[in-house]
Amino acid sequence: MTHSIAIVCGSFHKDEIERMLEWAKEEASKHDLVVDEVVWVPGAMEVPLAIDRLLADDTIDGVACLGIIERGQTQHGLAMGQAVIKSIIELQLVHEKPVGLGIIGPGADPEHIEPRLEPHARAAVAAVGAML
């Protein structure tokens, strides 16, 4: 059975996320998933609201999210990442639909990003497929 999914993309690292999106779409086809909607948001803070709206749609069976939260000079990224991930877990439980986490970080240094782009993108979509 084919399932419809959506992908939420953080636009702060647009070039890298566009590459992740291509890998995510390729992975979706391997799991009988159709990417029906792609939503771009400004950053991590907006990811949970976008996911909530998508999961409320009866035509969407699951969501994958793609993004990068770099290490900064303060703890802002860490705090943001923890809050976003907690919200994503809660949204899965409220809607009873899977969300695949393809967010690199929080606390990613520049050298951590490139090697994680493809594996995180693919794993986020594969997790949705496995849960469906």
**Active-site positions?**
76
From 54, 62, 66, 76, select the one nearest 11 (Cα to Cα). 66
Residue 100 and residue 63 in contact, taking contact as beta carbons nearer than 8 Å: yes
112 burial type by CB count under 10 A (0-12 exposed, 13-18 middle, 19+ buried): middle
Neighbouring residues of 24: CB distance < 8 A, sequence distance ≥ 6: 7, 35, 64, 66, 102, 121, 122, 124, 125
